[in-house]
Amino acid sequence: MSKVLVTGGAGYIGSHTVVELITAGYEVVIVDNFSNSNPGSVDGIERIVGRRPALVEADCSDYAQMLQLFKDHSGIDGIIHFAALKAVGESVVKPLEYYRNNMLSIINLLSLMKDFGGKHFVFSSSCTVYGQPDILPVTETSPLKPAMSPYGNTKKVGEEIIRDTVLAVPSISAIALRYFNPIGAHPSALIGELPQGKPDNLIPFITQTAVGIRPVLQIFGNDYDSSDGTAIRDYFHVVDLAKAHVFALDRLFKGNNRKPLEFFNIGAGKGITVLEIVKAFEKVSGVKLNYEIVGRRAGDIEKVWADTRLAESELGWKAVSTLEDALLTAWNWEKRLRGL
């Protein structure tokens, strides 16, 4: 059984990926500092899979803490790296905090992999590396544009750090998954997206508005070049995304990767406007949402969606859940949280 370290494994995407990893037969060690996650998600993981993964509370940007983790948990064969500050708008206001946290985390993990013999690294990257593309959908060979936010730039620079490392350290191979907009929750409603404070992502804002926690849903901008003026994104189910990480890790462990660092777009492969998401949620939930249009948000791009053919042909992965499936699981998760 291969041992995998999942950084940020108690977070939204991390917790769903841990479920899929354990189901696939991997031994998992979670490291999380709970800055934007909840220890209760580990209880949810245990209830879903019947086994509790090892859990270490530590900060990936703190080298001493991570060194101790590697000493305490020998034989880590691979790392899936989620842990990062991730709010686009906040990163514009706090750029130094984002660069310090997100860059140091990657540097520390790769340094310890080299020193302790780790071989495989899967990086949680983002479609933000493409900026506002000239041609849609974007492929993995689309030009990388200047980032629209410090958060987006940490993903772009993170990829560059990994690229330079795998070229200098042949024992390490890596895959960067550039994913688009994951939504939804586990069908069991035992784990899901649980932002601390005001949500930065659309779907928890929608579900919190639907249950009355938020008085109104703010939609940032209606003057974009789209059918209804709202921004376009590629929304897909978080469980599909979680499975993509298992496919990527399997590829590395089997030695099927064609290059020391590979990139794959992970999304549904189609663009949907914010208002289309609102209408789809109202349909599956039966709840009419109170929303208002406000100004554009700093750091947001107008439209982006993925060409996923490379992931389909090379990883054997494809998003299979419908938008309605994803929205319904998000709604069921929110209702369970609120005892409804």
Q: Are 249 and 21 in contact (CB under 8 A)?
A: yes
The DSSP output letter for 339 is T
Strands of the sheet containing 27-32, edge to edge, are 54-57, 27-32, 3-7, 76-81, 120-126, 173-179, 261-266
Q: Return the H-helix or E-strand segment holding 142.
A: none
Q: Strands (DSSP E) along 86-234, which ranges?
A: 120-126, 173-179, 181-183, 217-220, 232-233
Q: Is 151 a catalytic residue?
A: yes
Measured CA to CA, the distance from residue 136 to residue 240 in angstroms comes to 22
Q: Indicate the DSSP class of residue 138.
A: B
How open is the CA angle 174-44-13, to the nearest 5 degrees?
Answer: 30
Annotated catalytic residue within 12, 98, 130, 151: 151
Residues identified as active-site? 151
